[in-house]
Amino acid sequence: MLATHKNRRPLSASVAPPPLQEDAENEQKLEQSEVKEKAENGQSLEAELGCSPALMLKLINFLEEDLPHLFDERGITKEQYETQVDFRDPITRYSSVDGYLFNIQMLRYLFSPKFELHSVKQSGPSEITTRWTMMMRFALLPWRPELIFTGTSVMGINPTTGKFLSHVDYWDSIKNNDYFSLEGVTDVLKQLWYYKTPDLETPKYNVLKRANVYEVRKYEPFIVVEAPGDQLTGSKGFKNVTSYIFGNNSTGERIPMTTPVITSTVDYSTPGVSIQVVLPIQSTMSSLPAPLPGTANLREVSGGIIAAIKFTGETTEELVRSKERELRSALNIDGLHPKPGFMLARYNDPGRTWDRIRRNEVFHGSCCCLSSHPSRFCLSRIVLRSVPSVVLIRFHAGKEQKATQFK
């Protein structure tokens, strides 16, 4: 029998060493990196493709309901905006939602703004453009001038969260909308000029667009008493319409004064004008006394779209025609082609108001309303420019057609 060696160790199975901790950490980091890369690729693809149609429709409906509360007690919904939201207009900039909301509240308490939302449209894969009008009173000046801004807001959307991450305003009245725009500052300052507008009833209208030179307005219906005149800036015919107001009518009733007095002319070469005075807004044709025969006529105005240029000074023939040419030129540059003829609106008693603070306006109308010659006052189109979307509105004889194109 063979002897067993005393120092020989018993054989045992080979056991693999445990994995190193460093290898485990590397593997975990690799997995995390792959997950992160997939997430980033997914977000990048999502951003490239933009918001889903369902999300876009939801946000459009949200803005249509939420934005009208911009300056009221309720305010807009903070939770729908990213914490870091880029807000810019030509003279203001904020980079957080708190700064954005602070700006809204500051405007609300200092200027009592009124905000009117006209449209909300998709203008890009992750972008919505709104069109609006904002009116405010500058309470820091004794005469409390009215400031009007119209334009578009381009709202950028985070497709991942469905929240708004940017809000950029573009004003219709200036060309340089980049922050900080000296043109924007000038646009604000020139609206602070004092125009004396009598505290009398006047036709109601909404400003659809305020360009650098003119405003596009939409008037509500009203009634005028009118009589023929001889000159654009003359007074013939004015006595007949004021006589009606002061009681020279079928019932002897005195009618409250209103403003403005409107003079309508067909074109430069056609003699004769129409002198019109607006009657109280609540009046109806059946409730008003009839004019005496051969003195004046009552006419119901259906309302409509006009372009107006505002100016001060004594309304001489030379000044009025100069302002009409300025308005016509601005409209033509913007692609609007008014027909011959225009209207002069005078708001003040010339004997009681300094020339430098009078409020005068020249109108070009689109559907007639203020004119006895409807076909003569048709703007071929009114373009409400938005960036980057374009909203095109055409008005022909009072009929509206709308088309929207996204760039």
Residue 108 lies in a domain: yes
- Domain containing 282 — which CATH number? 3.20.80.10
Residues 20-30 have a mean pLDDT of 63
pTM above 0.85, yes or no: no
Q: Which of 13-27, 226-240, 284-298 has the lowest mean pLDDT?
A: 13-27
pLDDT, one tens digit per residue, over 212-260 is 999 999 999 999 999 999 888 777 889 999 999 999 999 999 999 999 9
Residue 267 lies in a domain: yes
Tokens of 146: 């009215």
- Put the strands of the sheet holding 222-229 in their side by side order: 205-210, 215-219, 304-311, 360-365, 342-346, 261-265, 273-278, 222-229, 297-301
pLDDT above 90 as % of the chain = 70
Residue 101 lies in a domain: yes
Same domain, residue pair 275 and 378: yes
Distances (CA, A) of 287 to 43, 206, 301: 67, 26, 16
Q: Please say if the pLDDT value at position 370 is more than 50.
A: no
pLDDT at 33: 66
Give the whole-angstrom CA distance, residue 258 versus residue 254: 12
Give the whole-angstrom CA distance, residue 36 versus residue 23: 20
- Domain containing 140 — which CATH number? 3.10.450.50
Q: Please say if the pLDDT value at position 325 is more than 80.
A: yes
- Put the strands of the sheet holding 163-171 in their side by side order: 92-94, 81-89, 163-171, 146-158, 127-137, 114-124
Residue 59 lies in a domain: yes
Q: Which of 157-166, 355-364, 365-374 has the lowest mean pLDDT?
A: 365-374
Same domain, residue pair 262 and 390: yes
Is residue 94 very low, low, confident or very high in pLDDT (cuts 50, 70, 90)?
very high
Tokens of 385: 């420019």
Residue 77 lies in a domain: yes
Q: Please say if the pLDDT value at position 42 is more than 60.
A: no
Same domain, residue pair 179 and 267: no
Query: What is the three-class DSSP state of 379?
Result: coil
The residue segments making up the domain with residue 335 are: 214-395
Tokens of 240: 């007949």
pLDDT at 350: 84
Same domain, residue pair 330 and 181: no
Q: Please say if the pLDDT value at position 136 is more than 90.
A: yes
pLDDT at 12: 47
Same domain, residue pair 63 and 144: yes
Residue 406 lies in a domain: no
